Amino acid sequence: MKRAIPRPQARADLHAEIVYYRKQAGKLIANQLAGAADDALQHLQQNPGTGSPRIGQILEIPGLRSWRVSGFPLIWFYFEREDFLDVVRLLSERQDIMAILDAN
């Protein structure tokens, strides 16, 4: 098992999504989002290589992988390091993911 360590921006992304869903859909849905996001990270900790490398390949960012949050249009982006998962962003499908990641 490799521990997932979200960068500050990834934590901020999650917080912003929870706030958004709480305002738009209520506390219950926001709590479900938080649980689903955590479940996705738990899966990655147990199975770090299951994330898709496709967006990383397209943007020529070696090692970048992605994994969807079940039930929500959200995607975790991470790098598998030797001892941990370096979680860099949580982005929504409603965002221009390619432009955001390409700018970093």
- CATH (domain of 10): 3.30.2310.20
Specify the higher pLDDT residue, 104 or 72: 72
The number of folded domains in the chain is 1
Residue 67's SS3 state is: strand
pLDDT at 39 over 70: yes
Average per-residue pLDDT for the chain: 96
CA atoms within 13 A on the CB side of 48: 18
- 54, burial (CB in 10 Å: exposed 0-12, middle 13-18, buried 19+): exposed
104: tokens are 């970093």
Residues 6+ apart with CB under 8 A from 99: none
- Domain range for 44 is 3-103
Q: What is the pLDDT of residue 104?
A: 64
